[in-house]
Structure 1
Amino acid sequence: MTPDVSVVDGVPVARDRSPLLLRVAHVDQAASVLTESDGDLWPAAWADDDALYTACGDGTGFARHDWRDIVVNRVTGTPREGLRGERLSAGDAVAPAWDPERFNRKPTGMVAVDGDGDGRDELYLAVQDLRCGAGPDTFNEAPTATVCRSDDRGLTWTWPAQPLFTDHVFTTVMFLDLGRSNGGSEWVYAYGIDGNWRTSFSHVVPDPTQLFLARVRADAIQDRAAWEFVAGTEPDGADGGLRPVWSSDVARRVPVLEDTRRFYPTPALGFSACDFTCIAQGGVVWNAGLGRYLYSTWSEYTFEFFEAPAPWGPWRLLHSHDFGHFPWHGPRSPLAKHGGYAPTMPSRFISDDGREMWLQSNWFVPASSRGGRAYCFGLRRVRFDPGTGQEPPRPTAPSENLARSADASVLVPRVREGGEHVLNDGRRDVAEDSAYGPGSGEDVWGIEWPSPRWFDRVVYVPGPQDSLGGWFASSPRVEVRRDGVWHEVAATVTPPYPTDWTALEEDEYVFDLDAQCADAVRIAGEPGGGMRYTSIRELEVWFRGAS
């Protein structure tokens, strides 16, 4: 079904403002499409020549030599057919360093738009000054930002005589990705973060928890006086929603999204940073197939995804993916698993129905890991599927294992070795667990489908013996999901679950329940042991038709 969309202030706005409900939300455990490139960040724009233009920091880009703190590149091709890249310009030819003794240049956003009406896109690149050097505040402060312009598709660049943003205000600038050539809009929208591009580990500036929104005419992007900022909202009489109030005074700005959650409150072994926020440099893209704006961001060890019907909101958390703390494994490892930073989902690679996207993100610690480097322009598949189909009739015969259905997807808390396939690979001789987690909250192991299924039995096969954890400290409960809401259901478990290390002595636990029709099922409970984790070899879902 095509989303019902209107155009407000030059951008599409979904008429349906209710939360986007997903039946399948899947993020690959590691980058699966790699390129011969070097660098990080990679904000990108889809231009009128059908190429993706992207800038990287601290690398050589699509070249083998000549390291620079900023490099502009051109990428053609697709993730499935292959990507090709070339380096266009770098260093002083791209952007100024306003305080080169203490700060270097980092790209944060890019947009391609025909603002001068000559029938050819210009490129605009947002660049911030980020603290460098050997002190404790390195990478922890971004006081200044500007926007550079290219009229020849990335070969040469110009910039204003002064920075556009100073005093740590709106200094991580991320242009909204409306699609090819800015979606044809005469307005360019940009999201901004104050102080730093992510959690400031040294606390030289406050950790970012607020995301702000601005706009500017496409023919005036480098004119600071032309920028307007969301200063509030007012009722929109046309459809009962809210629309933004704009102000040219940046001091009047109010956040369109605020998230004060903290992730991983204690440091991982050998890594002092902890207690991360998740408002950070990433990207916001219009997904026409889903009729939603998606903000992809991160919190050191997790990816966080938000959705909204309009650029100004209301923004809601859509999905979280937890990779656990280090060690991670590189993308060419047999057990690849790694998160990364500055995640973006370029509109160039979104499927027509909006359900398949490709996420770009980088990982530097360590830059060269077992199984290859993730410090490059690399992509991983993301599947956000609202699903189709109504409740099917109750089957008249027992089913095969529904967890093994071709369209089944797994639900995991985090997996130590990245082997989420263990849940439904049909084997009981390989296991995974949720170790390397934050040490709080519950674990869940589950299966979801893009349409409802009938089932009345769940079989949980735990992992191997371990003295540090692997079992549930509370008897695992069974929950099913209907219309986006999880419900606990009564179940009889055989044998009874002991909630201590002896739980790992059993080959399987069979949960029998009244027949359910739902699009997902999971077992959930508190992880046990000194390291607080649970283990699994297999999760099976059956319809026996006995109740």
Structure 2
Amino acid sequence: MRASRSVLAVAFVAGALITTVALPTATAEPSAERRVSHGASTDKEQHGRTPSRLPGQQRAEQQRPSSPAETTRLLAAESEDAPPGSTWAGTASIASANTTFTEADGDLWPSCWAKNDSIYAAWGDGAGFDLDSGFVDVGVARIDGDDPAALTGSNLATADEIVKRWAPSGTTRKPTGMVCVGDTLYLAVQDLAGNFNKAEQATIVKSTDGGKTWTYDHDKPMFDDHQFTTVWFADFGRGGAWDPTKYVYAYGIDGNWRNSTTDEVPDPQDLYLARVPKTKIQQRSAWQFFAGFRRDQVTPTWEKSIKDRVPVLHDGRRDIPRSFIDADWQNSSIISQGGVTYDKPLNRYLYTSWSEWEHHFYESPTPWGPWKRLLDHNYTVYDTAPQQYAGYAATVPSKFLSDDGLTVMVQSNRCCSLPNAHVAYNFSMRPLALDLHAGGIANPSPDGSNLATDPSTVAVSDSSRQGSLAELNDGDVSGSVDDFDGEAKSASWWGYTWPQDHVINQVTLTTGTPADDGGWFITRPTAEYRRDGEWHTIPIPQQTITPAFEPGKDFGDHATYTITFDPVTADGIRIVAAPGGDHTYSSMSELEPTWTPGPEPVEGP
């Protein structure tokens, strides 16, 4: 018998408190399989801050910059093998934890919104909505309700009732994608290795009776040899009504559903796209793969052979290359099993991806691109705390888009905070808020006012141990936030973004409270500005800082400095410096950008 408990959930978006409510969740002893699947460790292992030299300490020392120029160079290098930043969205921010939960047990939950107004979703490794039933590796449920905070669900089918395992032993079934064509359901299920580090086969099953029974070709899987074996479908709203074409669009990655911690297969860094007529989804010969563009570089081309495909998105970045904890997840790739949703009010496609400690979001005007970086959010390697954690297999159920499309609900899960299942080990969501880029200048004259008080301001940093950046622009220089996140990083940065350009020529910063293991800068802070989706370095010789900067812990306790430079027109500003201490992090109390009277603004990067 599994009891129910209430958990206090607190979430923040752009430094603002979203909700504080008591939420019911299922409590269960996690299986050994579940513990292995995500490399979970005990709270002591996750949260202990050992004062002695930790794994990664020597690497951290080797990466420490000795000058502002080296700091900015190392920071820029982190995005060299990445798609460009978005110019469509001005700001994007996500809650630091899930805010809505269900009385269910399981993870993954790819879903679709059927014509009958129900959501159908598939879970992995759990009991689904029947908490008294046994553990299964895959199941399908129906979820009803219009309020994300008051959803109910019921199980429909599990395990062999859905699909068989293709390998005779050593694998587990995992749902990866779901699409509703009217009220007909299609579910992609992969055969995943028992250590969760390679996916060799996948197939698609079909239900015409609301998920109770499923049919498929029992003779062979639709995809094998680790190619396109993590499959999900573009979500076009209720019953697929937002897509007027005759096709279903399917996305896939090779090798594994996420980074392969044992390197048995190459880590996924490319996202592929296929299309298939809605009436032939289970006919492998009817599938066509995106193969590039015609000469106009706009019109997509399609080929039947999977060998002729090309990726619609490549991202070669790595998540937290160096960490102070012993973890298989450091240096992970960031293209993973997720979802693509058509945000109809905004006429935009959103791809939601993740790595162990971060969410990664992309946007595109078409299913085939160009895809651009929208948001990367780092929840720190100590992210099992209820107030801040990442989530895997992220999707955006189209049913819960706001009327204007600017708020979407991200479904993702977390496993496991031993000895009990994580609060987010169920169908659970958190809000992602968008604000589109607007034209014009928000501050047309140099009046010296604090630009961070603009209501549209979104505070940004590499991470926040506190789960909120509200301290940065609350007008109180006695507070402190820090970016202690377990990464042996070369640069810390703190700043703001806006949905509209601002003219800026000065940033006043007040450092936070240092600790014995970090919380200060070892190089002089310098300013960078964002334009056209990318961060640009203001030539360091053109920047002055007063008073003269003193590096180190002894000079980093609520010290105030003003950085001045020629005016720039930008929709973001940040200060960058190398963090200090054994755990290489910095702290900040307040950040105040202004435009004071002076020379005309600089228009070029």
User: What TM-score do the two structures reach when normalised by structure 2?
Assistant: 0.78
Question: Taking structure 1 as reference, are residues 528 and 267 closer, same or farther at Cα in structure 2, changes over 3 Å only?
Answer: closer
Q: What's the secondary structure of 2:332's corresponding residue?
A: coil
Aligned length: 509
1:57 matches 2:124: yes
Q: Give matches, 1:169-180, under 5 Å.
A: 169-180=227-238
Map 1:58-207 onto structure 2 (within 5 A). Answer: 58-66=125-133, 67-78=135-146, 82-99=150-167, 101-114=169-182, 121-132=183-194, 138-161=195-218, 162-182=220-240, 183-184=242-243, 185-207=245-267
* Counterpart for residue 99 of structure 2: 32
CA distance in 2 between counterparts of 1:429 and 1:508 reads 11
1:470 to 1:56, Cα distance in 2 relative to 1, 3 A: same
Q: Which amino acid aligns with 2:563?
A: F
Pick from 378, 385, 391: which aligns with 1:322?
A: 378
CA contact (8 A) 2:85 2:534 kept: no
Paired letter, 2:582: G
Partner deviation per Cα, 1:189-233 (whole Å, 9 max, x = no partner): 111112211111112222122222111111111112211222333
Partner in structure 1 of residue 589 of structure 2: 537
Amino acid aligned to 2:516:
S
Asked if 1:387 corresponds to 2:434, the answer is no
| Native 8 Å contact 2:324 2:583 kept in 1 | no
Pairing of 1:321-470 with structure 2 (within 5 A): 321-330=377-386, 336-366=387-417, 373-392=423-442, 394-395=444-445, 399=449, 401-453=450-502, 457-470=506-519
Post-superposition Cα deviations, 1:345-392, rounded to whole Å, max 9, x if no partner, equal 12222223332211111111436679x612111111112222335214
User: Secondary structure of the equivalent of 2:250?
Assistant: strand
Amino acid at match of 1:154: G
Counterpart for residue 289 of structure 2: 229
Q: What is the Cα deviation at residue 535 of structure 1?
A: 0.6
Q: 1:50–1:223: structure 2 CA closer, same or farther, 3 Å change rule?
A: same
Change (3 A) 1:49 1:204: same
Residues 353, 144 of structure 1: alpha-carbon distance in 2 compared, 3 angstrom cutoff: same
Mark the CA change 1:517 to 1:205 in structure 2 (over 3 Å): closer, same or farther.
closer
**Cα deviation code 1:244-303 (max 9, x no counterpart):** 332222233222222222222345524244321112101112223333322111121222
Question: What RMSD, in angstroms, separates the aligned Cα atoms of the two structures?
Answer: 2.6
Residue of structure 1 aligned with 2:114, choices 44, 47, 57: 47
Is 1:474 the counterpart of 2:523? The answer is yes
Between stretches 384-393 and 537-546, larger displacement belongs to: 537-546
Q: Deviations over 1:438-466 (max 9, x none)?
A: 32342211122223345554332212132
Q: Which amino acid aligns with 1:463?
A: G
Partner of 1:216: 276
Q: Deviations over 1:296-340 (max 9, x none)?
A: 11121222222222222232323222222135312xxxxx11112
Instruction: Name the CA distance, whole Å, in 2 between partners of 1:405 and 1:367.
Output: 42
Structure 2 CA distance for aligned equivalents of residues 513 and 85 of structure 1 = 57
Question: Is the 8 Å Cα contact of residues 162 and 213 (structure 2) preserved in structure 1?
Answer: yes
CA distance in 1, matches of 2:443, 2:150: 43
Does structure 1 conserve the Cα–Cα contact (< 8 Å) formed by 2:178 and 2:233? yes
Which AA in structure 2 matches 1:244? Answer: P
Identity over aligned pairs, percent: 39
> Which residue does 1:308 correspond to in 2?
364
Q: Distance in 2 between matches of 1:396 and 1:244?
A: 47
Matching residue of 1:290: 346
Q: Please point out which of 256, 259, 262 is paired with 2:312.
A: 256
State the alpha-carbon separation in 1 of the partners of residues 419 and 471 from structure 2. Answer: 27
> For the residues of structure 2 that align with 1:379 and 1:367, how far apart are their CA atoms?
21
Q: Is the 8 A contact 1:479 1:487 kept in 2?
A: yes
- Would the aligned equivalents of 2:232 and 2:252 in 1 still touch at CA under 8 Å? yes
Distance 1:473 1:178 in 2: 50
SS at match of 2:393: strand
1:493 is matched with which residue?
A: 545
Equivalent position amino acid for 2:357 in 1? Y
* Letter of the 1:394 counterpart: P
Over 3 Å counting, the alpha-carbon distance change for 1:80 and 1:96 in structure 2 is closer
Moved more, 275-284 or 372-381: 372-381
Task: State the alpha-carbon separation in 2 of the partners of residues 411 and 546 from structure 1.
Answer: 27
CA-CA distance at 1:545 after TM superposition: 5.4
Deviation at 1:107, TM superposition (A): 0.3
Map of 2:560 onto structure 1: 508
Superposed displacement of residue 429, structure 1? 4.0
The answer (yes or no) to whether the contact 2:496–2:573 under 8 Å persists in 1 is: yes
1:527 and 2:579 correspond: yes
Query: What amino acid sits opposite 2:403 in the alignment?
Result: D
Deviation of 1:532 after TM superposition, in Å, equals 1.5
> CA–CA distance in 1 between the matches of 2:265 and 2:459?
39
Report the secondary structure of 2:592's partner residue: strand
Question: Secondary structure, in 3 states, of the residue corresponding to 1:459?
Answer: strand
Distance 1:205 1:45 in 2: 30
* Residues 422, 46 of structure 1: alpha-carbon distance in 2 compared, 3 angstrom cutoff: same
Question: Is the partner of 1:215 in helix, strand or coil?
Answer: strand
Structure 2: how far apart are the matches of 1:454 and 1:264? 33
Residue aligning to 1:4 = none
Question: What's the CA shift string for 1:520-545, capped at 9, x where partnerless?
Answer: 22111222222211111222344565
Q: Which residue of 2 aligns with 1:5?
A: none
Q: Post-superposition shift, 1:75?
A: 2.2
Measured at CA, do residues 270 and 397 of structure 1 come closer, stay the same or move farther in structure 2, by a change above 3 Å? closer
Paired position in structure 2 for 1:8: none
When residues 27 and 233 of structure 1 are mapped into structure 2, their CA distance, relative to the original with a 3 A threshold, is same
Question: What TM-score comes out, normalization by structure 1 length?
Answer: 0.86
Question: Comparing both chains, which one has the higher relative contact order based on Cα–Cα distances under 8 Å and sequence gaps of 6 or more?
Answer: 2
1:333 is aligned to none
CA distance in 2, matches of 1:273, 1:392: 42
